[in-house]
Chain A
C-alpha cells in the first residue's frame, strides 16, 4: 500500500521538522529558565520587599504626651485614663439595633447617632468605630451593666490630657485638641506620628513644645491578607513618652492671681528679679482648657468667643496697654542717667488753673489743686504729671526711648516662646518718620513722659522693667520652662551708667507706697518682711476733654469701656528685693485704688512661699 521511498521521505520530513521544533522548545525553556533566574535570583530582594509590603501593615498607636509640672513638681497638665467605647461592626449581629440601644444608654444625640452610621459605611467590618472617646463614669458603669447583651461593643482604656487646675494655667499652657489639617501641614513631626484622634497643642506652651511633648508611637506590626484583615501580630515596638516639662510657676500663687482677678479683665505676673523665673502669670478672664479635649460644644465656644472681656487673649503677653504713670521710674531714671536733672531738681505744679502750655496745647496734672513745688522723690511719690512733663521735655523722646528699650520695653520678652507675643511700641523720632511719615512734635514727648500717646507695653514688659530696676539694674532673661535653660552672654550685664541712679529710683518707688501722700500708700505693708515698693499707673482709654475735667466723675459713673485701665508695678521685700510684679486691671479706674491693693495681698503669699521655693531650689542643685 505504501511505497518504501515515500515512507522514507515522510520519515525524513517528520524527523527534520521535529529537530527544528525541538530546538525551538529548548530555546523557549531556556528563556523561561533565564526569566526565572532574573526574577528569583537577581531581583529577589526587590520582590521580597514588595511581598513584605503586601503583607505587613504597621499601625501606630497614640503616643503618650509629656506632662507639665509646676515648680514644686505638681502635675498641671497630665495624662488621664479615659474609657472609650468601641464597636467592631463585623462582631455585631444587628448593627442598627445595637446602635439604638447605645443611643438610649448613652443618651446620644440624633447627630451623633447618624455620625456612627455614616462612619460604618466608610470602613470595613473588622475596623473599629469609636462611639465615644470619653465616657463619663456614669455612662461607663451603665454600659458595663449591659455589656453582656451588646456583643461587638467594648470599652477600652485610653489616655487623654487633663488639666487639674482648670482655668489657672490656660494662658500659659494653652490646650490640646484634635489635630486638624493645618497642624499636620505645619508640623512634620505631627504628620509623622499622626494617628486618628491624636491631640496636639493648639496654643501656648503645649504648642511651642509640641515636638518635645509628643513622644514616640507604639508600633504594632501585623500580617494582613489581601483584603486587609489582620491575621497575626508580628511584633510590638514600644514607643516612649514625651518629655516632661517643669515650669517655674508656683501653683499656689497662680491660684491666688486667678482669685484676685476674678470677674475682672486683666493680668498679673510675678517674676524672680534675679533668675527671671516667672512665679505666676495669669490673664483674666480665663476658661477651662478641659473643654477643648474632646471637641468643645458650640454653646461653650460661643460663650468664650463672644465674651467682651476677651478670655481667648493672653493679656499678659498679647495685650498692649499704655503704661501710664508706671513708665515714670524709667523716665526719671533716663533723666538722671543722661544728667538732664539731679534728684533735687524741682518743678512747680500749679494745678488745673495754670496748666503747662505749649504751642497752644495745655497739659494738665491729674491733681486739680496741683502739687506745689516737687522734686524727683515727691514727683514719683505723688505721681506728679507736671514734673514729668518738664523732665521729659528736657530729656527728649530719643534718649527716653533708649533707656526704655534697654529695660526691655518695645521688645518681645520671651522671644519665640509664645506665638503672638506682642512687642509693644517705644516711639522715637525716627520711628515716627518711618512709620507715619511725620516729624515728631514736642507735645508727643510730653505725653510719652507720663506713659500716654504712642507708647504701648505689655504687662510682662512692665514686670521685667520693674524687676531690672529692683535687682539693681542688671539684665535678666525671663523664663517659664525650667528644663529649657539657654545661655545668654549678656545676662546680668549692667543697664545703668551710675548705680546710684537706680538706688534713687528704688527709693522714690518706696516712698510712693510707704510714705504719706504716696499714690499707693493705702496698700502698704509695714512689716519689713513683706514691705514692698511700687508705682501706680492709670492709663487713659479715651482723651480727657475739658467737659470731663469739669464733671470730674467717679469711676463707677463712667461707662465700662471708657474707664481708665488701672496699673501697678512693684517689687519686694524692699530691704532685700526678690520679686517683681505687674498688675493691670482693664477699665479698673485708678491704679492706686484698684491695682495696688491686689499687690498687697499678692506679696504676702509670695514672700511666705519664698522659703519653700528656696529649699526646692537647693534640693534641685543637690540633685545635679
Chain B
C-alpha cells in the first residue's frame, strides 16, 4: 500500500528535523524552575530535596530524550505488556509494599522508592489507546469493548484505592475515561453515568473514611478548624494571597521559610512559587503548562496513527487534569486530594511517569507519519 511508503525507518537527520524542540525546551524550563523552587523550599540552601530533585531531573530528562527516539510503533507493541507490568507492580505493592504515613504505596528500590500508581496513570492511557486504536467506531460502543475498557480502568483504580490513595485513583480513572471519550463512546453514556454518580453521592460519602469526610467538610468551610484540618488550606491561601502581583521575591516567601506551609515540597509547591513570584509568575507558569499541553495536542493532531492521536490527547488531558486539580486544591477550590503538580512537585515516580509520557509524545511527533497496523 502507498501508505507503507512512510513506514520506513527515518534517518537521524529527519528525526531531528521532526523533533518538537519547543516542547523539549518548555519541559527543560519547567524542570529548571522546579529545581530553583525546590531550592527555595529548602530555605535557600542546597539540601536533601534540592539535591535529590536535581539528580532525578538530570537523570530522567536525558532518559526522556533517549526514549523519545524509540519508534512509536514499539510503544504501541509494548503497551499491554507495560500495563500488565505496572499492574503486577501494584499487586506487589499491595502484598509487600512499603508503608508510610498509613498507606502502602511504594516499592523500595534502594535508590528510589517507586510508586507504581503514578506510572499507572500513563499505563492506563497507553493500554486504552492501543485498545481503541484497532476498534472501529461502530464497535466502540459495543458491550464487550465497554466492558473490557472499563475493566482496564477499574482494576488498577481499586488496587490504588485500597492503598489507600483516593486522589491518584481518581486521576487514573479520569485518564482512562478520557480515552473512552475520544474513542467515540456515546455522550449519553457519560451523561447517564454522571447522573448515577450524583444520585449515589450520599451513598459513596457514607463509605468514605472519616479523614476523607473531614477533608470535604473542611473544603466547604476551612475556618471550622483553622488549626487542624483547615490549617493547610488557610495557610496556603494566605501564602498565595500575600504574594500580590509581583510576589515577595525569590527566597523571600515568609509563609514558606517560617514553616507555615505544609507539604511545600510536594502538593503545595505551587503555593510557594506563587508566594514568591506573585500573580505574574503564576500566570507565566500556567502559560508554560498551556504551551506544553498545546504541543502535546499538536503532536496528536499531526499524527497519522490513532494510537498516537489517542495517547497524545489522553496524555494532554492528564497533564491538564493534574495541573488543574493541584492548583484548584491549593487555591481552595477543591478538597485536598493528594495530587502532585507535574515536574514541579518533588517525587521521583511522578517525575518518571511524566517523563515517560513526554518521551512517547516526542516519539509520536518524530514519527507522526508512521502508520501502525
Contact = CB atoms under 8 A, between A and B. Distances in A.
A10 B306 CA distance: 9
B334 to A, nearest CB: 11
Contacts of A55: 254-255, 258, 260
B223 interface: no
A17 B238 contact: no
A373 interface: no
B137 A50 contact: no
Nearest to B245: A41
Given A21-B181, A47-B241, A50-B241, A36 B282 contact: yes
Contact of A54 (B258, B286, B301, B333): B258
A51 interface: yes
B245 A40 contact: yes
A537 B309 CA distance: 119
Contact of B182 (A17, A41, A47, A225): A17
B277 to A, nearest CB: 10
Interface string B317-342: 10010001001100101000000000
A233 interface: no
Contacts of A47: 237-238, 240-242
B283 A25 contact: no
Nearest to B241: A47
A46 to B, nearest CB: 7
A225 B138 CA distance: 62
Given A1-B373, A55-B260, A223-B258, A50 B242 contact: yes
A37 interface: yes
A469 to B, nearest CB: 71
Given A33-B283, A48-B241, A225-B260, 11 more contacts: A10-B137, A10-B184, A13-B182, A21-B178, A28-B320, A29-B290, A32-B327, A37-B279, A39-B237, A39-B331, A54-B260
B238 A224 contact: no
Contacts of B255: 51, 54-55
Given A47-B238, A51-B239, A29 B324 contact: yes
Of B138, B293, B320, chain A has the most CB atoms within 10 Å of the CB of: B320
Size band of the interface chain B makes with A: 35 or more
Interface in B38-88: none
A555 interface: no
Contacts of A29: 286, 290, 324
B260 A226 contact: yes
Given A47-B238, A54-B238, A6 B244 contact: no
B8 interface: no
Interface in A544-583: none
Contacts of A224: 258
Interface residues of A, number: 39
A13 B137 contact: yes
Of A33, A40, A41, A48, chain B has the most CB atoms within 10 Å of the CB of: A40
A14 B182 contact: yes
A44 interface: yes
B357 interface: no
B5 to A, nearest CB: 16
A6 B328 contact: no
Contact of B297 (A9, A13, A22, A231): A22
Interface of B: 136-138, 178, 181-184, 235, 237-245, 254-255, 258-260, 274, 278-279, 282-283, 286, 290, 293, 297, 300-301, 306, 309-310, 313, 317, 320, 324, 327-328, 331, 333, 373
B313 A32 contact: no
A39 B320 CA distance: 22
Smallest CB-CB A-B distances: 7 pairs: A47-B241, A51-B242, A226-B259, A225-B258, A40-B279, A13-B184, A39-B241
A21 B242 contact: no
Contacts, number: 124
A31 to B, nearest CB: 8
30 contacts: A10-B184, A11-B309, A14-B184, A14-B310, A17-B182, A17-B184, A18-B313, A22-B297, A28-B320, A28-B324, A29-B290, A32-B331, A32-B333, A35-B328, A36-B240, A37-B279, A40-B245, A40-B278, A40-B279, A43-B241, A44-B243, A46-B241, A47-B240, A47-B242, A51-B255, A55-B254, A55-B258, A55-B260, A225-B260, A226-B259
Contact of B136 (A6, A21, A51): A6
B69 to A, nearest CB: 26
Given A10-B184, A14-B313, A40 B324 contact: no
Contacts of B242: 44, 47-48, 50-51
A225 B282 CA distance: 25
Interface string A284-296: 0000000000000
A438 to B, nearest CB: 68
Interface in A218-275: 223-227, 231
Contacts of A10: 136-137, 184, 306
A487 to B, nearest CB: 55
Contacts of A22: 297
B291 to A, nearest CB: 12
Contacts of A13: 137, 182-184
Contact of A44 (B137, B239, B244, B306): B244
Query: Dominant SS at the B interface?
Result: helix
Contacts of B310: 14
Contacts of A226: 258-260
A50 B243 CA distance: 12
A32 B290 contact: no
Contacts of A50: 238, 241-242
Contacts of B259: 225-227
Interface in A39-64: 39-41, 43-44, 46-48, 50-51, 54-55
Nearest to B275: A51
Given A40-B279, A50-B241, A50-B242, A33 B286 contact: yes
Contacts of A18: 182, 297, 300-301, 313
Given A18-B297, A41-B279, A48 B244 contact: yes
Nearest to A37: B279
Contacts of B297: 18, 22
B260 A17 contact: no
A610 B235 CA distance: 71
Nearest to A26: B290
Contacts of A48: 241-242, 244
Contacts of B238: 47, 50-51, 54
Contacts of A35: 328, 331, 333
Nearest to A223: B258
Of B184, B258, B290, B293, chain A has the most CB atoms within 10 Å of the CB of: B258
Of A39, A47, A223, chain B has the most CB atoms within 10 Å of the CB of: A39
Nearest to A5: B137
Nearest to A6: B136
Nearest to B234: A50
A6 B283 contact: no
A47 B253 CA distance: 13
Contacts of B240: 36, 39-40, 47
Contacts of B137: 6, 9-10, 13
A361 B333 CA distance: 97
A224 B243 CA distance: 19
Contacts of A231: 258
A44 B278 CA distance: 10
A37 B242 CA distance: 12
Contacts of B373: 1
Nearest to B136: A6
A74 B317 CA distance: 85
Interface in A198-227: 223-227
B144 to A, nearest CB: 18
A224 B259 CA distance: 10
Contacts of B301: 15, 18
Nearest to B248: A51
Nearest to B243: A40
B280 to A, nearest CB: 9
Given A1-B373, A18-B313, A44 B258 contact: no
